[in-house]
């Protein structure tokens, strides 16, 4: 199936492609859609993912997959959460780089002993008017005291996974896909898409 990914973040698209084998994932650029501002004014990951899916589906009218993800820190009552990509710039100031956001978060957390955190990922697959599949997964960890690792993107250098003894940024792409919030959500979404295709084929054969 050809699927438009409702994201202008190529890192996300690159991570999603191997998670959905048998499907061709298109970036907005590959579908002829220019970068656009989407008002992500939802109250949770699902709401924002659905907003993005609808915005891009309306442009191309092809099945669209949207990802909304972020890092929630227990000691900060879940922040940055749904504002993870805009952390430090919600007042309208220039968007911070990944490195600057990481340093800001470490500064805010410097005197905090509670370091538990979790990545969240919600995927929404929109394939018709108000017809969609959705799944949300997490990847729990501990907020490190300093960045470590060169892989991944975003907050990956800050999230330490005790069971692996590494930050997410220190994992190989294969390791990351096996344990990450996006990897888990992507595998579940792949199974759901396959079930949807089988169901539709059964309907057609019985028509």
Helix H or strand E segment including 14: helix 10-16
Distance CA(167)–CA(82), nearest Å, equals: 21
According to DSSP, the β-strands at 24-26 and 2-5 are parallel
**CB burial readout 176-185, b (16+ within 10 A) else e:** bbeebbbbbb
Catalytic residue among 44, 68, 77, 100: 68
Q: Is 100 a catalytic residue?
A: no
* Dihedral sign from CA coordinates of 28, 31, 33, 38: negative
Active site amino acids: 68
């Amino acid at each position: 199936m050809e699927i438009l990914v409702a994201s202008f973040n190529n890192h996300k698209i690159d991570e999603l492609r191997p998670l959905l084998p048998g499907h061709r994932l298109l970036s907005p650029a590959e579908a002829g859609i220019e970068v656009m501002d989407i008002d992500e004014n939802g109250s949770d990951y699902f709401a924002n993912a659905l907003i993005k899916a609808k915005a891009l589906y309306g442009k191309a009218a092809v099945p669209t997959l949207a990802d909304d993800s972020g890092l929630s820190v227990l000691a900060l009552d879940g922040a940055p959460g749904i504002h993870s990509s805009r952390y430090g710039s919600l007042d309208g100031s220039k968007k911070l780089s990944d490195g600057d956001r990481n340093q800001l978060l470490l500064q805010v957390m410097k005197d905090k002993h509670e370091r538990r955190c979790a990545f969240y990922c919600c995927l929404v697959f929109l394939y018709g008017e108000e017809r969609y599949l959705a799944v949300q997964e997490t990847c729990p960890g501990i907020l490190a005291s300093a960045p470590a690792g060169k892989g991944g993107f975003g907050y990956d250098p800050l999230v330490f996974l005790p069971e692996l003894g590494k930050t997410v940024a220190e994992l190989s792409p294969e390791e990351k896909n096996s344990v990450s919030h996006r990897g888990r959500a992507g595998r579940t979404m792949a199974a759901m898409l396959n079930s949807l295709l089988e169901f539709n084929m059964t309907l057609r054969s019985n028509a």
